[in-house]
């Protein structure tokens, strides 16, 4: 299996640290709002990487964190006049709901930054003791130049970085706001401001910097050296670069063997941004398309390292493609109801062999740096064969084997090849009635649960003055 390693800028043979096991850390979201479709791409991509490793028999320890203390969370809490924990817990629950709808498997561990503060204080102290960090007026900084390999992931030269920071650093020093020894040094711990959450530390009552969080959580749940560290390409610098500096300086061993990064998601060939009016949350797209279509689009549209363009036309194409697969599997299920018993015939064995050859093609695509777009093409070829060569005239054994092959490979992609049963109108109305009653009883948790359940099945609710309207996405 070949994986493209950002660290070496080459495809390398994947060799795990421990045979038969894969340790994998994927940077999770900062939980201050609903996740957007750009956030969803790494979730879907690296969930699929995990699924493929499991399909190949590996025991995967998959860790993905929640950053639940951050300036954006604090700002949102102040705006709403609530505690920052209320904001983070609300959006952690929302992220988990979105992940479930996107068929992203629960991580082995989902650590929260706020529950790992003791480990962060310990690592920061070790870095100070080793001369890699220093304290100034309650703030602890990492001494970037002390780490000789700084820049090895992003391929940034430290002297060029210094030139870029010089004017900014000069301005801060003139105003007396900068206490750093070097403008490139970054924060490990910062003192609290009024109204902010804080923890006690040897340096000040305050909170950790962002970068230290992942170094600590990765080490605690996976060990000092891990197989794969992954995330969006926007994290390469400075976040992942700083993680390497912290972890390797503290632990004295290589932090991660392989670094995997997905490309950006563009909207109609433009960068997604609120100011452009082309910013979409996963939930907003889920009101227009079934969530499984969004997942299928992410995997079939382009190789994960390449930029991916999102547009209505491309989503419609993904919807049609997924329906082709699901319709073929439904046809096999229908044929099975009337198929005859008996052993597989020679002709049928030849068809199954064709499907097995395409299974090899699927696996070869996935083994070439997880090329899901080509893997999906192999599934489409299978669909073409089953549509043209299998029917209720065939034996149950042949039909069952053909169906098993397609369903298994779709499951590797996290795609449900068997269509979920559509809710009947009467069932939808009954759930809406139950939701209305839950709201009257002030059981808002149950009301939200029903809304999410319906949304997950492609039913969009709209509360109006005349009552609740619904439509199929």
The count of other CB atoms within 10 Å of the CB of residue 407 is 16
Contact in structure between 136 and 325 (CB atoms under 8 Å): no
Q: What is the SS3 string spanning 291-309?
A: HHHHHHHHHHCCCCCCCEE
Give the pLDDT confidence of 381-399 residue by residue, as tens digits. Answer: 999 999 999 999 999 999 9
Give the SS3 label for residue 204.
coil
Contact in structure between 246 and 212 (CB atoms under 8 Å): yes
Which of 5-9, 108-112, 320-324, 423-427 shows the lowest per-residue confidence on average (mean pLDDT)?
423-427
Residue of 87, 51, 64 whose CA lies nearest to 232: 64
Residue of 288, 281, 261, 26 whose CA lies nearest to 154: 261
Query: Which CATH number among 2.130.10.10, 3.10.110.10, 3.30.930.10, 3.40.50.620 corresponds to the domain 2-262?
Result: 3.40.50.620
Residue of 200, 185, 210 whose CA lies nearest to 132: 185
Residue of 248, 186, 187, 240 whose CA lies nearest to 214: 240
Contact in structure between 65 and 28 (CB atoms under 8 Å): yes
Give the pLDDT confidence of 245-302 residue by residue, as tens digits. Answer: 999 999 999 999 999 999 999 999 898 877 787 889 999 999 999 999 999 999 999 9
Evaluated on CA atoms 263, 268, 269, 274, the torsion sign reads negative
Q: Which two tokens stand for residue 143?
A: 């001494």
Q: Give, in words, the CATH class of 270-412.
A: mainly alpha
Give the pLDDT confidence of 118-173 residue by residue, as tens digits. Answer: 999 999 999 999 999 999 999 999 999 999 999 999 999 988 887 655 554 444 44
Contact in structure between 182 and 85 (CB atoms under 8 Å): no
The predicted structure's pLDDT at residue 160: 81
pLDDT above 50 for 48: yes
247 CB-near residues (< 8 Å, 6+ apart): 215, 218, 219, 224, 255
Contact in structure between 3 and 303 (CB atoms under 8 Å): no
CA distance 467 to 439: 13
Residue 169: its H or E element: helix 158-175
Phi-psi region of 11 (alpha: psi -120 to 50; beta: other; left: phi over 0): beta
Contact in structure between 318 and 69 (CB atoms under 8 Å): no
Give the pLDDT confidence of 340-368 residue by residue, as tens digits. Answer: 999 999 999 999 999 999 999 999 999 99
Burial of 33 (0-12, 13-18, 19+ CB in 10 A): middle
Residue of 311, 251, 318 whose CA lies nearest to 278: 311
């Amino acid at each position: 299996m070949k994986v493209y390693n950002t660290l070496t800028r080459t495809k390398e043979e994947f060799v795990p640290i421990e045979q038969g096991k894969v340790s994998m850390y994927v940077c999770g979201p900062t939980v201050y709002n609903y996740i957007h479709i750009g956030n969803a791409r790494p979730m879907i991509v690296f969930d699929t990487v995990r699924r493929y490793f499991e399909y190949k028999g590996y025991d995967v320890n998959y860790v993905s964190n929640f950053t639940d203390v951050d300036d954006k969370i604090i700002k949102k809490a102040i705006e709403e006049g609530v505690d920052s924990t209320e904001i983070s817990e609300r959006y952690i629950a929302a992220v988990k709901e979105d992940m479930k709808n996107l068929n992203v498997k629960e991580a082995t561990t989902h650590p929260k930054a706020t529950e790992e503060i003791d480990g962060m204080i310990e690592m920061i102290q070790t870095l100070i003791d080793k001369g890699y960090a220093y304290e100034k007026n309650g703030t602890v900084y990492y001494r970037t130049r002390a780490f000789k390999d700084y820049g090895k992931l992003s391929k940034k030269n430290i002297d060029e970085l210094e030139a870029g920071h010089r004017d900014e650093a000069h301005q801060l020093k003139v105003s007396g706001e900068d206490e750093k020894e070097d403008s490139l040094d970054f924060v490990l711990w910062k003192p609290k401001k009024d109204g902010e959450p804080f923890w006690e530390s040897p340096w000040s009552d305050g909170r950790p910097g962002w970068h230290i969080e992942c170094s600590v959580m990765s080490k605690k749940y996976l060990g000092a050296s891990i197989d794969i560290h992954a995330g969006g390409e926007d994290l390469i610098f400075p976040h992942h670069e700083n993680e390497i500096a912290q972890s390797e300086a503290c632990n004295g061993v290589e932090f991660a063997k392989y670094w995997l990064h997905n490309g950006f998601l563009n909207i109609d060939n433009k960068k997604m941004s609120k100011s452009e009016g082309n910013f979409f949350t996963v939930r907003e797209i889920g009101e227009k398309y079934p969530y499984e279509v969004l997942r299928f689009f992410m995997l079939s549209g382009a190789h994960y390292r390449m930029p991916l363009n999102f547009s209505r036309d491309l989503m419609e194409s993904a919807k049609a493609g997924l329906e082709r697969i699901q319709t073929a599997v439904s046809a096999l299920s229908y044929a099975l109801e009337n198929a005859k018993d008996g052993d597989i015939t020679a002709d049928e064995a030849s068809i199954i062999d064709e499907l097995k050859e395409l299974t090899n093609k699927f696996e070869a695509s996935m083994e070439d740096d997880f090329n899901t777009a080509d893997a999906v093409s192999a599934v489409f070829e299978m669909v073409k064969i089953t549509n043209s060569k299998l029917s209720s005239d065939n034996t149950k054994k042949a039909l069952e084997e053909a169906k098993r092959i397609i369903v298994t490979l779709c499951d590797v992609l996290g795609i449900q090849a068997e269509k979920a049963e559509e809710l009947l109108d009467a069932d939808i109305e009954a759930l809406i009635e139950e939701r209305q009653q839950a709201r009257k009883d002030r059981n808002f948790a149950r009301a939200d649960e029903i809304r999410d359940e319906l949304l997950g099945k492609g039913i969009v609710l709209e509360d109006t003055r005349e009552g609740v309207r619904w439509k199929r996405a």
